[in-house]
Structure 1
Amino acid sequence: MKNLFKAGGVCMLFFLLCVSNLFSQTADQRAENLQNGTNTIFMSADKSYYKHNSASDNDPYGYGYWIQAHTLETLADAYQRTRNSVYKDRMKSIIAGIRKYNSYGAGTYHNDFYDDLEWLCLASFNCYNATKDPEFLDAVHQMWTEIKTGYTNGAMSWKKGCNTPCKNSIANGPAIVIAVKLYQLEGDNSNLQMAKDIHTWMKANVFNAQGGIWDSPTNLDPDWQFSYNSGMFIAACLELNLVTGTQSYIDDGIKACEFMMNYRNYNGGVFFLNENGQGDGGLFKGIFAKWFIEFVRMGNLTQAQKDRYLGVINYTSNYVWAKAVNKTNYLINSYWDSVPTGTIDLSTQSAGLHLFESVASLNKVHAYQNINYGGFYSQLSTGNYTLAQLQARGISDNDITSLTVPAGYVVTVYENDNFGGASKVFTANSAWLADWNDRISSLKIVDTNTSLVNVYQDITYSGYTAGLNVGDYTLAQLRAKGILDNDITSLKITEGYKVTVYDGDNFTGASKDFTATTDWAGDWNDRTTSLRIRPNGTPNLGNITYYLQNRHSGLYMDVWGLSTADGGNIAQGNYTGANNQKFKLIDAGDGAYQIQGINSGKAVDVAGVSVENGANVHQWTYVGAANQQFIAVSTGDGYYKLVAKHSGKLVEVAGFSTVSGGNVQQWENANQASGHWKLIPAGTAKFAKTELTTETETAATAINVYPNPVESTLFFTGEVSGTQVRIFSLTGNSVSEQKIQSDNVNVSGLAAGTYFIVFEKDGAKITKRFIKK
């Protein structure tokens, strides 16, 4: 963006600021905008079919049965993503329109092409698993009965009454997926056997030594190794593995994936740039994207394999969004490396829908009704789900049997509503929950992945973005995160970290350090080929024993109860001079330190390696983990922020407490005084008994606030005239400060939420919590 920035001056900058949100949208927003654009441009006047193209083609009999089926399938994905009934209504309208305008038999699903029947059968299955609407299952059964008439000698025919070549790959891969799904749902062994036999036929006749899929046994033209054939073979391998547990199916799928990695991987990591036509071919790469992503999400792969494939998926998604999507109408080009011009076919648009809906599914937990990820399922984003909230997502009480869990996500399930009763944690896919099968009434989902640095394609944090943590990133590793070479323009950097960028690969050539968020990289715009992220704390504080005094309360960090055990809690206390209030900073490099308790010899530790606000701080045996190292960031006036290296969050006193025993936790860095600590070397200062009160002493001079919750005026009990009062938000931001001359304060200007009000009276600080309605 550097040339545009210089050429357009202020006007161009203003334009980019206005549209930046269009480029840096989340995966969910991208999918939603593409769905909305498709509905606006392609939906027919009677809402019963999608038009063939983005121009004025409104012929209901030329809409394309199989392409319509794929667009229908993406509606089921959108409904899973949003649970918005508008998508369910569209599903019902579209499948009715397919029957209404079916030129092979009005009022039916009949078709002379078996692969077309299979596409609609798969779409109907997806709709049923999303909605439980029996209309879609009835459609599956009707079509499957017809599809089976094309099955002979262990393989499916492509078309009714066709001559050689007839048994094409694309009629066989989808048939396996349908047969297995029906076996999962209904237990008919003949369907499973049929799926196994077709797979055997495909391996013997169309699966080549490189892992590619020939179009048919009689067509071995390398230029006809289409991505949708590979995608459906990979899907077939996944489904067979899930129900049989046979690893060789996954091995076959991996070989097919590797063919795509080796022979269909372009421009540093983007799939499918060789398939650029519209018409039927416009859908090929979208079909591959959908099923390749399903294979990665559910398949029994090593984490290294998943990470490698996910890198290419994310890179492709960011590349296509940046280069091939028109952000004014959300049309997508058949060429996934340039913005569309002219008429776009529904097939091409639907390929984009498959890509972006599937990518959006990767940041969700999937909860399934049946074993091996079968039957009805629902996508769940991070958050807490009571029984009522699960039911709103279509999940019945005690009806979850299997889960897929993205890397870094933590799912805590509970046997009772409102997170009560026994619980268990899941951090990886589970094809059967065993003793937790049909036992879950509520659950919580936390994403423990954290991005300490975000880099952006364009100025002012726009364009595609990627999150990075402490580490070294070569060009290949940046590409695996979806970042193109020489394409970084702005950065958001968590306080306490440093980004060193290089104009050569492998940390070579010229370099520059960025230590703070910057909206334009200046002479380093579009110049970065590799980079390093390191802590950026104050050096030379190590090998000294300190007392750690909190700025807000004046009290001292304290291993409570003189504990020497793993898990001993850390709070704040009145000064005692005892060893449980002494901590040695041990240099861990780059201004980060292990904080070792003198009394116990154990390290200050963020419990559970959590990145969440409110995670407890305790002591634990030191193992060198990032949650046991803290970056010392000077405030410039004698205090330091202690930034947890793994999360970028501050060690602070919870709730702005000023009493002895106030707990210590981690919280988002809002420069809150409760997260500032003075490092006082032990033995270098004389401590007087603190004048701050204990919790018991505070009670004797208590100030209470009412009404709580409050709408406009907050009243106080006790003598407060002349008292200095500060109000803090829940995240620690100071929102008001004044000297009180009466028994109340006006809070009508505050936004609704939870606040802390701090009274400074007679040398003591008294903190109260209130809720603003």
Structure 2
Amino acid sequence: MKLVQKATAKWLAASLATVLMVTAWGGDQRAAAFTTSNADAAMSSFVNVFYDASAKYFYTNSDHQIQAAHAYGPNGGLYTDFWWEAQLWETVMDAYQRTGSSTYRTMIDDIYTGFNAKYANMVDNQFNDDLGWWALACLRAYELTGTQEYLNRGSFLFDHVYASWDTTYYGGGIWWRADAMNPATNASSQKNMATNAPMVMAAIKLKNAYNNSNYLTKAQQIYSWIQSKLINGSKVNDHVEGTGAGTVKDWDFTYNYGTYLGAATALYQATGTSSYLTDANNAANYVINKMTSATTLLYEGENDAPGFKMIFARNLNQLRVQANQTQYLTFLQQNATQAWNHRRTSDGIIGSDWTAPTGSSYVQSLAAAAGTSILQFVPADNFTGNIAGNGLYEAENARRTLVSAAGMVNESLQTGFNGRGYVAGWNTNGTSLNFYVNQNAAGSKTITFRYAAAAGNAGRYVKVNGAVVTNNLTFTGTSNWSTWNTVSVTVALQAGSNTIELGYDTSKGNNNYLNLDQMYGL
């Protein structure tokens, strides 16, 4: 995965922290999942739209066109790039593991053949995380099929990536790139969660395959370094860079938490050591409590970012199954239902945001695979309906509209906020926060926003499904930026999907700054 893509996804994901409180929510909020036929249909649609059987490879986009947004991969970006194809291969494995279908069993072999035809020498790729994803996928393919070639390739790739383990900088860890292992001379040098945590999981798979405890030793070595350098309490950080002791970047991505809890789960299964299970549960609960929108995994952006929640959900399911952590079943089922309910009916494809309907534009294969996969590995309970969730809408996890780079920043400097922070410095015309709210029944609801307004009274408009509810909802001034207040408004919501837009328009209200915190109470 490329660094610029990481930074872009981080900017998209970490901007909002309003509290949207919806009180007297009503409606059926029980756990809802989907049917087995839904899972079958989702996988069939995914294959029909994205898989090129002649090339034995997946297209990058649903329109089979090269798009500038992600023009990486074979044939100028017509087909998916290195790490995307590994994830899509695992989506096929998810379907095979659920169904035992000979179609998906054949596809496992075919995709491997097609990938090798496009990338004759995998290790020409200098990104160790890309190679690591293929090592992990190969070893899973071996576990599912018993094909020796997959074990051989997975072992080879693990050894190749592990050769970038180094103690000269940061006390250990595997470098992100094999051609950038010296921060004094290369600004791209870093050691990150995306490279190191998957190698823990791969090492445990190799330990099981070969019955060789040396792989367990390596897994524990890598994990210990992760603990010492990238973990800060409940926070799972992204990477360390720079000279000397290095600078830790604390970007929040669901895939960092997902790979970390996957590593911890693998070690717990291998050793029975309870601290690993504690680590896995802490990471899982951080995301569930702080990186969701009414219990649905947040939208983190496009390109690489939609695959992040697939990795989190897949490893959370492994934690549920392998460590008997049944408390996560309802969460996983609700997310699977959200993904299915918001599919595009014209072609059955699921988009990058599971809380809102998939639009009419092209959809990227990695985004579509995320929704398809969760329907494969989460057991269906045969209930169909909408997911109202728990009513908690953190603004940092909402979607926002920007007309400029200024006017909305994510911040956590003031005290008393909820979640991961709040939206700060909001005073730019044309900006808005969009909350996607799903309901089981139509009706009037009271929504409440939690905010701070130390600059004085601030005005914002409220729209529901594009219709203006109020042109100038007044957020009464607060004594300082650490004093939080609430304001409420009654809105009419329809059954199914709704968009509540809180926006800034200088022609309709006060120009003062506003900090928006959290949502809770539905």
TM-score, length-scaled by structure 2: 0.62
Corresponding residue for residue 200 of structure 2: 176
Residue of 163, 166, 175 corresponding to 1:157:
175
Q: CA deviation at 1:300?
A: 4.9
Corresponding residue for residue 90 of structure 2: 73
Contact 2:141–2:150 (8 Å) recurs in 1: yes
Corresponding residue for residue 373 of structure 2: 354
The one-letter amino acid of 1:329's match is D
Contact 2:313–2:374 (8 Å) recurs in 1: yes
Corresponding residue for residue 333 of structure 1: 351
Contact 1:67–1:347 (8 Å) recurs in 2: yes
Aligned mates of 1:350, 1:526 — CA distance in 2: 27
Say yes or no: does 1:84 pair with 2:98. Answer: no
Question: Higher Cα Rg: structure 1 or 2?
Answer: 1
The one-letter amino acid of 2:150's match is F
Aligned mates of 1:331, 1:351 — CA distance in 2: 11
Larger RCO, structures 1/2 (Cα 8 Å, 6+ apart): 2
Output one character per residue of 1:208-240: Cα deviation in whole Å (capped at 9) or x when no partner.
223333333655454x22111110000000000
Q: What are the equivalent positions in structure 2 for 1:607-686 lying under 5 Å apart?
A: none
Residue of 43, 48, 65 corresponding to 1:57:
65
Q: What are the equivalent positions in structure 2 for 1:592-603 lying under 5 Å apart?
A: none
Corresponding residue for residue 56 of structure 2: 48
Identity across the alignment (%)? 23
Corresponding residue for residue 331 of structure 2: 312
Aligned mates of 2:266, 2:220 — CA distance in 1: 11
Residue of 247, 256, 260 corresponding to 1:229:
256
Residue of 176, 180, 188 corresponding to 2:212:
188
Contact 1:287–1:354 (8 Å) recurs in 2: no
Say yes or no: does 1:97 pair with 2:114. Answer: yes
The one-letter amino acid of 1:37's match is S
Contact 2:33–2:333 (8 Å) recurs in 1: no
Say yes or no: does 1:28 pair with 2:45. Answer: no
Output one character per residue of 1:397-430: Cα deviation in whole Å (capped at 9) or x when no partner.
xxxxxxxxxxxxxxxxxxxxxxxxxxxxxxxxxx
Say yes or no: does 1:145 pair with 2:162. Answer: no
Aligned mates of 1:502, 1:281 — CA distance in 2: 35
Q: Which sections of structure 1, spanning at least 5 residues, go unmatched?
A: 1-23, 364-450, 458-463, 467-473, 478-483, 490-500, 505-523, 528-773
State which drifts further: 172-181 or 313-322.
Answer: 313-322
Corresponding residue for residue 487 of structure 1: 440
Corresponding residue for residue 310 of structure 2: 286
Corresponding residue for residue 134 of structure 1: 148
TM-score, length-scaled by structure 1: 0.42
Q: CA deviation at 1:111?
A: 2.5
- Structure 1 residues 333, 189: closer, same or farther in 2, change over 3 A? same
The one-letter amino acid of 1:356's match is L
Residue of 39, 45, 52 corresponding to 1:37:
45
Contact 1:110–1:117 (8 Å) recurs in 2: no
Larger strand share, 1 or 2: 1
Aligned mates of 2:357, 2:444 — CA distance in 1: 28
- Structure 1 residues 486, 226: closer, same or farther in 2, change over 3 A? closer
Residue of 262, 272, 281 corresponding to 2:298:
272
Q: CA deviation at 1:152?
A: 2.3
Residue of 208, 212, 216 corresponding to 2:236:
212
The one-letter amino acid of 1:142's match is F
Aligned mates of 1:330, 1:46 — CA distance in 2: 22
Contact 2:42–2:348 (8 Å) recurs in 1: yes
- Structure 1 residues 258, 465: closer, same or farther in 2, change over 3 A? closer
Say yes or no: does 1:117 pair with 2:131. Answer: yes
Output one character per residue of 1:65-112: Cα deviation in whole Å (capped at 9) or x when no partner.
11001111111121121111111111111111111111xxx2556521
Runs (4+) of structure 1 exceeding 4 A deviation are 107-110, 217-222, 474-477, 501-504, 524-527
Corresponding residue for residue 278 of structure 2: 251
- Structure 1 residues 75, 526: closer, same or farther in 2, change over 3 A? closer
Contact 1:47–1:93 (8 Å) recurs in 2: no
Contact 2:340–2:371 (8 Å) recurs in 1: no
Output one character per residue of 1:21-69: Cα deviation in whole Å (capped at 9) or x when no partner.
xxx9944323322221222121225141111111233754633011001
Output one character per residue of 1:426-479: Cα deviation in whole Å (capped at 9) or x when no partner.
xxxxxxxxxxxxxxxxxxxxxxxxx9xx6x53xxxxxx599xxxxxxx9689xx
Larger helix share, 1 or 2: 2
Q: CA deviation at 1:137?
A: 1.7
- Structure 1 residues 72, 35: closer, same or farther in 2, change over 3 A? same
- Structure 1 residues 33, 199: closer, same or farther in 2, change over 3 A? same
Contact 2:95–2:373 (8 Å) recurs in 1: no
Corresponding residue for residue 342 of structure 1: 361
Aligned mates of 1:145, 1:212 — CA distance in 2: 25
- Structure 1 residues 526, 349: closer, same or farther in 2, change over 3 A? closer
Corresponding residue for residue 609 of structure 1: none
Q: CA deviation at 1:248?
A: 0.3
The one-letter amino acid of 2:111's match is I
SS of aligned partner of 1:151:
coil
Say yes or no: does 1:201 pair with 2:209. Answer: no
Contact 1:110–1:143 (8 Å) recurs in 2: no
- Structure 1 residues 120, 485: closer, same or farther in 2, change over 3 A? closer
Aligned mates of 1:123, 1:87 — CA distance in 2: 15
Contact 2:34–2:336 (8 Å) recurs in 1: no
Corresponding residue for residue 624 of structure 1: none
Output one character per residue of 1:552-602: Cα deviation in whole Å (capped at 9) or x when no partner.
xxxxxxxxxxxxxxxxxxxxxxxxxxxxxxxxxxxxxxxxxxxxxxxxxxx
Contact 2:255–2:311 (8 Å) recurs in 1: yes
- Structure 1 residues 147, 214: closer, same or farther in 2, change over 3 A? closer
Q: CA deviation at 1:145?
A: 2.5
Aligned mates of 1:115, 1:27 — CA distance in 2: 35
The one-letter amino acid of 1:113's match is F
SS of aligned partner of 2:239:
coil
- Structure 1 residues 150, 348: closer, same or farther in 2, change over 3 A? same
Aligned mates of 1:476, 1:195 — CA distance in 2: 40
Output one character per residue of 1:357-408: Cα deviation in whole Å (capped at 9) or x when no partner.
2214x77xxxxxxxxxxxxxxxxxxxxxxxxxxxxxxxxxxxxxxxxxxxxx
The one-letter amino acid of 2:344's match is N
SS of aligned partner of 1:313:
helix
Aligned mates of 1:238, 1:210 — CA distance in 2: 16
Contact 2:349–2:368 (8 Å) recurs in 1: yes
The one-letter amino acid of 2:374's match is L
Aligned mates of 2:264, 2:390 — CA distance in 1: 32
SS of aligned partner of 1:344:
coil
Aligned mates of 1:202, 1:107 — CA distance in 2: 29
Contact 1:212–1:225 (8 Å) recurs in 2: yes
Corresponding residue for residue 395 of structure 2: none
Q: CA deviation at 1:488?
A: 4.5
Aligned residue pairs, count: 353
The one-letter amino acid of 1:271's match is L
